Amino acid sequence: MRFLTFNLWHGLSPTSPVAFEGLEPSERRRLREELQIEVIRQAQPDVCFFQEVNPVVRRAPLIAERLGMDVTYQPDLVGLKLFGLGLPFNLNSGLVIMTSKRFGVKRIEGVSLSRPGLSLVHSWGSWQLKEERFALFSETLLPKWGRVLLVNTHLHHGLESTTEYLDELEKLGRELELSNALMSELKDRLAQGNQRRNQELSVLLRALQRLEKRYEAVVLGGDFNASPASELGQMLREMGFRDVWQESHGSSEPGLTYDHTANQANHKLQSRFPLTMVVEDLSFSTKVKDALMGLARKHENRPRRIDYLWVRSANVELKVKKAEMIGYPNREDLAPSDHFGVIADIEPV
């Protein structure tokens, strides 16, 4: 059984509440979206997890029709909408799960990870004044697997506080002679991204515990915006989830799904996306602000693995046969996304 997770990149930047800025010309976007279909079709997945499908209400059924698959979806980054109309007028992004028509797929629920127990984001309308993250739960019936719970998510996009980043921040703070109080404030702000993702994952896992008893296995895919060594990854391993890429490759291949060196054209466009680190309200000189933001941009742009397939099985023994990445630039240096997709073949033993 072949699984695919792929962030398809909406290609927008939050520059205005009226309309987000398109990071590429419309014709380039059209060609890139056509390339997405071609690359996915060539990969021949049985089950797909897509993130940043925009506009999800229109594109999800269209992609499914082009690929000959069944589809479920959940809007996540939408804004204020009623029957497709509202602000920002060009943002209606969402999570999508597709399966081969041989197996079928049924939507279970969409869970807000930002507003637990309350969801005001639906396909027909939404009330969303700030970033909100979701998980989409669907089910399918796979031969020799049984009933499988499929979970797709896209966690908070924010700078990741890593040991390397903190070490460099400490060094920069000494060079700039920043006070202990200011350094403490910067570290607290940097930690907010990790804290928010961990909280979102905790909500997801609580929903999972409520649902999973009805299933033989769980496959969790998506863009987690966190590296394998993160606390988030540790949480999943402690819950019995297996990192499919790690299980296939060990330490021999890092699997960098977000890599500006291998995907230069799209990342050059993506560099215009604003950073989540805010220092404008602090009493710094322009030199200090530029240095801090330069360090933040460096770590935001570092090649890393943030897209995952995780699997956990209760009553069926599963073997990861192989995992690889798709979506590299073609001869014209056009790649289908700013991420690479991850496909994996997983079979019952």
| Residue 251: predicted pLDDT | 85
Q: In angstroms, rounded to a whole number, what is the distance separating the alpha carbons of residues 339 and 48?
A: 15
CATH code at 240?
A: 3.60.10.10
Q: Which of 258, 259, 214, 231 is nearest to 106 (CA)?
A: 214
User: Residue 14: is the preceding peptide bond cis (ω within 30°)?
Assistant: no
| Residue 282: predicted pLDDT | 81
Number of domains in the chain: 1
Task: Provide, for the chain, the percentages of residues in helix, strand and coil under a 3-state DSSP scheme, each rounded to the nearest 5.
Answer: 35, 30, 35
| Residue 15: predicted pLDDT | 87
Range of the domain at 261: 2-348
Tokens of residue 26, six digits: 């419309």
| Residue 348: predicted pLDDT | 96
* Ordered mean pLDDT values, 10 residues apiece, the chain (349 residues): 98 92 96 98 98 97 98 97 93 97 97 93 93 97 97 96 96 95 94 97 97 96 97 96 97 95 96 84 85 94 97 94 98 97 97
| Residue 135: predicted pLDDT | 98
| pTM, to two decimals | 0.96
